A and B are shown apart, each in its own frame.
Chain A
Amino acid sequence: AQSVSQHNHHVILSEAASLELGCNYSYGGTVNLFWYVQYPGQHLQLLLKYFSGDPLVKGIKGFEAEFIKSKFSFNLRKPSVQWSDTAEYFCAVIPSGGYNKLIFGAGTRLAVHP
Chain B
Amino acid sequence: KAGVTQTPRYLIKTRGQQVTLSCSPISGHRSVSWYQQTPGQGLQFLFEYFSETQRNKGNFPGRFSGRQFSNSRSEMNVSTLELGDSALYLCASSPPSGSSYNEQFFGPGTRLTVL
Q: Do A and B bind each other?
A: yes
Interface residues of A (CB under 8 A from B): 32, 34, 36, 43-46, 49, 51, 90, 92, 94, 97-107
B101 touches A94 (CB 8 A): yes
Instruction: Decide yes or no: A100 and B101 within 8 Å by CB, A43-B107, A43-B108 being known contacts.
Output: yes
B45 within 8 A of A: yes
Cα separation A45 to B58 with both chains bound (whole Å)? 21
23 contacts between A and B (CB under 8 A): A32-B101, A34-B103, A36-B106, A43-B106, A44-B90, A45-B106, A46-B105, A94-B101, A98-B101, A99-B50, A99-B101, A100-B31, A100-B48, A100-B55, A101-B33, A101-B56, A101-B58, A102-B45, A102-B92, A104-B43, A104-B44, A107-B42, A107-B43
A102 touches B42 (CB 8 A): no
Q: Can you list the 6 inter-chain pairs with the closest CB atoms, starting with the nearest?
A: A104-B43, A44-B106, A101-B56, A99-B56, A106-B42, A43-B106
B16 within 8 A of A: no
B68 within 8 A of A: no
CB neighbours of B4 from chain A (8 A) = 43
Dominant secondary structure of chain B at its interface with chain A: strand
Minimum CB–CB distance from B62 to chain A (whole Å) comes to: 18
Instruction: Decide yes or no: A49 and B103 within 8 Å by CB, A101-B58, A106-B42, A107-B42 being known contacts.
Output: yes
B14 within 8 A of A: no
Q: How extensive is the interface on chain B, given as a class?
A: 20 to 34
Binary contact track B25-51/A, C-beta < 8 Å → 1, others 0: 000000101010000001111001010
B42 touches A100 (CB 8 A): no
Which B85-115 residues sit within 8 Å CB-CB of chain A? 90, 92, 94, 99-109
CB neighbours of A100 from chain B (8 A) = 31, 33, 48, 55-56, 92, 94, 100-102, 104
CB neighbours of A104 from chain B (8 A) = 35, 42-44
Q: Which residue of B lies closest to A41 (CB)?
A: B108
